[in-house]
C-alpha cells in the first residue's frame, strides 16, 4: 500500500497559489487518470487507486499547510503505511518555477508543512517531490509570495513541472525504486 500526499491549503482563495502546487499536481494526476477526490478521512480529501493490484491513496490534507502532519499520520497509522511507501509533493522556493527535485530525506528546509509532517512521523526520512515556485520579488514577503497565485508568465513552466511530477509519480508507482525515479526525473 502506498500514499502520495500533495500539500496545500483548502478553499478557493488558495486554489491556484504557489503553496498549493502539491494539490495542483495531484489534481492533474487525477485528471489524467479520469478520477476525482471524492472521499474524506483523517481531515483530508482522498481517492483510492490500484496499480498492479496494490492500493494507492492520493491525499490532499484539508488542515491547512502548517498542520499537514495531523492528517497524514492518521493514514500512515491506520493503514500501516511504511515510510518507503510514502511520497509528499510540495512547493520549494529555492528552485525556479518549472524545476522539480526528488529527495529521500532531509530537513524541512523552512517549509512548515514538511516540518509538521516530520514532527508527526518522528523522522526526516520522508520521500519528497518538490516543485519550484521561485523566490519572492524584492519587497514581497515570503507569505505573500507563497500564498499568491502564479503569475501568467509562469503558467507554462508550472504546468510542465506538474505534468513531469505526474510522470514521476506514475513511474514510481509502476514499481521503479525511488532512486531510479530520482535519477530519471531530478533536473
Which pLDDT score is estimated for 90? 96
20 is in an annotated binding site: no
Q: Tell me how far apart the terminal alpha carbons of the chain are, to the nearest angstrom.
A: 28
Look at residue 106 in the predicted model and tell me its pLDDT.
Answer: 86
Phi, psi of 166 (to 5 degrees): -60, -45
Cell numbers describing residue 35: 478520477
Give the pLDDT confidence score for residue 107 in this predicted structure.
Answer: 84
Is 75 labelled a binding residue?
no
CA–CA separation, 111 and 33 (whole Å):
29
List per-residue pLDDT tens for the chain, 187 residues long: 999 999 999 999 999 999 999 999 999 999 999 999 999 999 999 999 999 999 999 999 999 999 999 999 999 999 999 999 999 999 999 999 999 999 999 888 889 899 999 999 999 999 999 999 999 888 889 988 999 898 899 999 999 999 999 999 999 999 999 999 999 999 7
CB 25 within 8 A of CB 162: yes
pTM of the model: 0.95
Alpha carbons 182 and 44: distance in angstroms, whole number: 27
Find the helix or strand (DSSP H, E) in which 117 lies. Answer: helix 112-121
Candidates 158, 106, 103; CA nearest to 132 is 158
Which pLDDT belongs to residue 2? 97
Is 112 annotated to bind a ligand? Reply is yes
Specify the pLDDT at position 108. Answer: 83
Q: Give ∠ CA 103-105-109 in degrees, rounded to 5.
A: 85
* 34 is annotated as an active-site residue: no
Give the CATH number, domain containing residue 33: 3.40.50.1470
Q: What is the DSSP letter of 133?
A: -
Query: Binding residue per annotation — 64?
Result: yes
Domains: count for the chain: 1
Question: Collapsing DSSP states into helix, strand and coil, what is residue 89?
Answer: strand
Range of the domain at 155: 2-185
What the block records as the C-alpha cell of 95 is 528552485
What are the helix (H) ranges across 122-154? Answer: 142-147
Amino acid at each position: 500500500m502506498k500514499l502520495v500526499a500533495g500539500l496545500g491549503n483548502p478553499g478557493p482563495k488558495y486554489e491556484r497559489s504557489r503553496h498549493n502546487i502539491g494539490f495542483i499536481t495531484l489534481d492533474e494526476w487525477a485528471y489524467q487518470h479520469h478520477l476525482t477526490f471524492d472521499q474524506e478521512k483523517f481531515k483530508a480529501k482522498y481517492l483510492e487507486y490500484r496499480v498492479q493490484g496494490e492500493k494507492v491513496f492520493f491525499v490532499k490534507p484539508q488542515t491547512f499547510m502548517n498542520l499537514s502532519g495531523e492528517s497524514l499520520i492518521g493514514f500512515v497509522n491506520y493503514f500501516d503505511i511504511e515510510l518507503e511507501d510514502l511520497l509528499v509533493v510540495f512547493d520549494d522556493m529555492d528552485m525556479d518555477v518549472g524545476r522539480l527535485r526528488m529527495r529521500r530525506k532531509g530537513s524541512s528546509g523552512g517549509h512548515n508543512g514538511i516540518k509538521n509532517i516530520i514532527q508527526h512521523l518522528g523522522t526526516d526520512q520522508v520521500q519528497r517531490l518538490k516543485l519550484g515556485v521561485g523566490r519572492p520579488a524584492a519587497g514581497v514577503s515570503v507569505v505573500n509570495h507563497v500564498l499568491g497565485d502564479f503569475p501568467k508568465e509562469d503558467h507554462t513552466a508550472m504546468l510542465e513541472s506538474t505534468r513531469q511530477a505526474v510522470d514521476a509519480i506514475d513511474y514510481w508507482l509502476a514499481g521503479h525504486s525511488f532512486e531510479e525515479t530520482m535519477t530519471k526525473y531530478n533536473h
